[in-house]
Amino acid sequence: MRRITTLVCLVLAAQVVAFAFTSPHLRVNRVVVEGAKGALAAEALSKMHAGMGANIFLAPLDDLSRKLAEAAPFRSVSVSRRWPLTLVATVRLRTPYAIVRSGQAGYLLDGALVPYAATSGSSKRLPEFAIPSGSRPKLGQNWPNRYLQASAKSYEAARDRGLKVRRISIDRSGDMCFNIESGIQIRAGAPQDIERKLWVASQFLASKKVPLDTIDYVDVSCPAAPVYAPKRS
C-alpha cells in the first residue's frame, strides 16, 4: 500500500512540474524597470521585452541581465521574478563624478573613472579634467589613461586641502594647472609631490598676504619657493 501511495505521489509531482513548465497560463505577461526613468527606462524595457511570453520559471534572467548591463549608464543590473507573471529589472545608475575633456570630446565619469556618456556641455556641480587627446574610451568600461588618473588623484588631494577646484588641465608633458572657484589659477608643474604643492598653495591663499582678487595665478611648481603673479590692470 505504501508503495502505491509513493508512486501516486511521484506521478502527481511529475504532473505538477510538467504543468508548471509547459502551461500557457504561466507565461510572462508584464515587464517592469525600476531605478531608471525616461529614455533609459525605455531602453531597458525594450531589452526586457525579450522575456515576454517566456515561461515564468524558465525566463532567461541571466541573459536579460547581461543585455541590460551593456547600457553604459547602468552601474549594476538584476532581473527577478515577481508574481503574478512579471519580470522586474532593478537598475542602479552611475553617479556623475566629473567631466573629462580629451581634445574635442567630452565624457561624464563616475567615481570609478568609468566614462559612461558623451557630453558637450559643462556643469556647475562637476569638476572638469582637460587631458591630451588620444584613443577614445569605450563607454561603460574602464579607461586606463594616465592623464585622467593623475587628474583625479590631484583633484582629491586639492579637496583634502580645502581648495574648490573647477578645472584641472594637464598637458602631454604632465604639467598641471588648477582653476579654483575664486578665479585664481594654481600652476603645479609635474604631478610629482602634488600633495605638498597643493598644501603650499592652500597655505599661501589662506594667509591673505595678498588680496585674492588681485592674484592671477600662484606657481608652486617649486614648492619651496612659491610665487604669484598679479592680475593685469
In the sheet that 30-34 helps form, which strands lie side by side, from edge to edge?
A: 30-34, 86-93, 74-82
pLDDT band at 56 (very low <50, low <70, confident <90, very high): confident
Look at the pTM and tell me if it is higher than 0.85: no
pLDDT of residue 229: 92
In this predicted structure, what is the pLDDT of residue 160?
94
Q: Is 50 exceeded by the pLDDT of residue 116? A: yes
Say if residue 27 is exposed, middle or buried (CB neighbours under 10 Å; 0-12, 13-18, 19+).
Answer: middle
**pLDDT at residue 7 is higher than 60:** no
Domains annotated for the chain, with CATH where assigned, are: 2-93 (3.10.20.310), 96-230 (3.40.50.11690)
Euclidean distance between CA atoms 2 and 113, whole angstroms: 66
The pLDDT value given to residue 55: 87
